[in-house]
Amino acid sequence: MTHKRNILFLPFLQIPSGHHQAADAIIDELSEKHPDIKCDKVDILSYSYGKVEAFVSLTYLKWIQTIPQFYNWLYQSSVYKKGDFDKRYHLYELLFIPFMRKLLNEKKPDLIVCTHALPSYMINRLKEVHELHIPVINIYTDYFIHEFWGIKHIDFHFTSSHHMKEFLLHKGIKENQIVNTGIPIHQKLKNHSGSVGKSHHSLSLLITGGSLGIGAIGELIKRMGTHSMIDFFVLCGKNEQLYGKLKNSGRANIVPLRYIKCKDEMNKLYDQIDGIITKPGGVTISESLYKRKPIFIYHALPGQEVINLHQLKKLGLVYELNYWKRQTQPMDEFIYALYRNKSQWMEDHHQSISLYHQQLSTIGPVDFIEKVIFEK
């Protein structure tokens, strides 16, 4: 009897973040191509402590909204700036490694895919002490690698940029262990929908604040002129209050949209727009880069997104609208001028996106996983 292969995906928390989206993108494509491969996705916090996860998720969201500066300082000082990748987190080991052992014994995976640093750290530790011998892949869903990630004993690394690949090489990881895939996006978003219908205005831009609709979208829209030459599609995520407010605003050029779960619908929207105004969340940026859309950053959540923004600016992949709260000129007029005047930034941006794609691996994340799982 043929052994049915089993892949265990390890994100963290139940918030619909990039950790889950990247895992889901790979699971959906694998399931379509190989129905005989079993894919399990498990949040180790829910698995270990049940309803505590909901409290942690709520606390995290409240924290980054109410005291963002403190969260940003704590995040950068605790796991990013020191760069100590040999540091031990004994409390986390005590809290999670016994449950990780239990999970691995239950699932008996042939391959483990970590899309979050915490499970990666635990898995790396188990491999370090020779308790685990199966292949493990890290999929980084941001544009940097912080010291909480397990690195040394992880078999393969899917990086988001060439800079991250160079970082891992500097840390002693072999080149054949690193695949510069970019952050995985759903297969359906790689299709050309043919949806190129335009409104009466010459430009269409998408504004998004992520799946939860948090950020400064409402304030940003107030800075847009009432007689704009741009149509704005506003993804409100699961923020019903924002959706209702925009729906009743009477602005003809503002089209509010609820959370879009259907990937085909999202794909059509991407193909319809001329650019995106967003936060620097990993998956949204990756989708926009794949579609080669100009990316404008209006806001960054503390912690990961602040660092993402810094890295993306270094790569020349985004334009930061960093003065929009103090600017007297309506934001839409400023953005419209960037397009219509064929600005130097727009030309440089197209070149940076082309270079970014040239540096990506010719083998995609699912193709590489197939190679690992079938050669095991």
The per-residue pLDDT for range 23-36, each reduced to its tens digit, is 999 999 999 999 99
Same-domain pairing of 82 and 94: yes
∠291-288-326 over CA atoms, to 5°? 135
Say if pTM beats, i.e. exceeds, 0.85: yes
Residue 56 lies in a domain: yes
Per-residue pLDDT tens digits of the chain, which is 376 residues long? 457 899 999 998 777 788 999 999 999 999 999 999 999 999 998 998 888 877 776 776 665 666 667 556 666 666 666 666 778 889 889 999 999 999 999 999 999 999 999 999 999 999 999 999 999 999 999 999 999 999 999 999 999 999 999 999 999 999 999 999 999 999 999 987 665 555 555 789 999 976 554 557 878 888 887 667 889 999 988 788 888 988 888 888 889 998 888 999 999 999 999 999 999 989 999 999 999 999 999 988 888 899 999 999 999 999 998 777 677 778 888 888 888 877 788 889 999 999 999 999 999 999 999 999 988 6
Do 276 and 204 share a structural domain? Answer: yes
325 and 240, same domain (yes or no): yes
Q: What is the 3-state secondary structure of the chain?
A: CCCCCEEEEECCCCCCCHHHHHHHHHHHHHHHHCCCCEEEECCHHHHHHCCHHHHHHHHHHHHHHHCHHHHHHHHHHHHHCCCCCCCCCHHHHHHHHHHHHHHHHHHCCCEEEECCHHHHHHHHHHHHCCCCCCCEEEECCCCCCCCCCCCCCCCEEECCCHHHHHHHHHCCCCHHHEECCCCCCCHHHHCCCCCCCCCCCCEEEEEECCCCCCCCHHHHHHCCCCCCCEEEEEECCCCHHHHHHHHCCCCCCEEEECCCCCHHHHHHHHHHCCEEEECCCHHHHHHHHHCCCCEEECCCCCCHHHHHHHHHHHCCCCEECCCCCCCCCCHHHHHHHHHHCCCHHHHHHHHHHHHHHHCCCCCCHHHHHHHHHHHC
| Same structural domain, 119 and 201 | no
Kindly state whether residue 62 falls inside one of the protein's structural domains. Answer: yes
Domain count, the chain: 2
| Residue 202 shares a structural domain with residue 263 | yes
Do 18 and 103 fall within a single domain? yes
CATH of the domain at 126: 3.40.50
Residue 97 lies in a domain: yes
Task: Supply the range of the domain harboring residue 242.
Answer: 192-358
